[in-house]
Amino acid sequence: MNLTIETTEHETYYNINVAGELDVYTAPELLEVLQPLRQKGTHDIHLNIENVSYMDSTGLGLFVGTLKELNKHDHELFVLGANSRIERLFDITGLKELMHVNDGTGVE
């Protein structure tokens, strides 16, 4: 399955809409988009995964790496639109305690 990624820059954050399946095969595509943004460290990142139908541990790892990089620059990661199945992955791994997942914070 393909992954579709659309990025929009706002004054204080990047909004990244992701659609498709986020797994070991497609995660490098998202990393290619995230890497320069998270290293720049000038904005928060809002990842809208409302249209992600499947995500494995590779996707979770990508989010953790992004969070760590953003935290170095005092910025945050917001994961928005996660369906109940994907949100449960964040819950059972404890990642929901470390990043904003479906909490609505940071949405303009």
- The secondary structure of the chain in percent helix, strand, coil, rounded to multiples of 5, reads 40, 30, 30
Q: With bands split at pLDDT 50, 70 and 90, how would you rate the model's confidence at 108?
A: very low
Q: Which two tokens stand for residue 45?
A: 């990142």
Q: Which pLDDT does position 1 carry in this prediction?
A: 66
Q: Which pLDDT does position 104 carry in this prediction?
A: 59
**What is the per-residue pLDDT across 51-98, written as a single tens digit (0 to 9) for each?**
999 999 999 999 999 999 999 999 999 999 999 999 999 999 999 988
Q: With bands split at pLDDT 50, 70 and 90, how would you rate the model's confidence at 15?
A: very high
H, E, C per residue of 41-98 = CCCEEEEEEEEEEEECHHHHHHHHHHHHHHHHCCCCEEEECCCHHHHHHHHHHCHHHC
Distance, in Å, from the CA atom of 91 to the CA atom of 28, rounded to the nearest integer, reads 24
Q: Which pLDDT does position 30 carry in this prediction?
A: 97
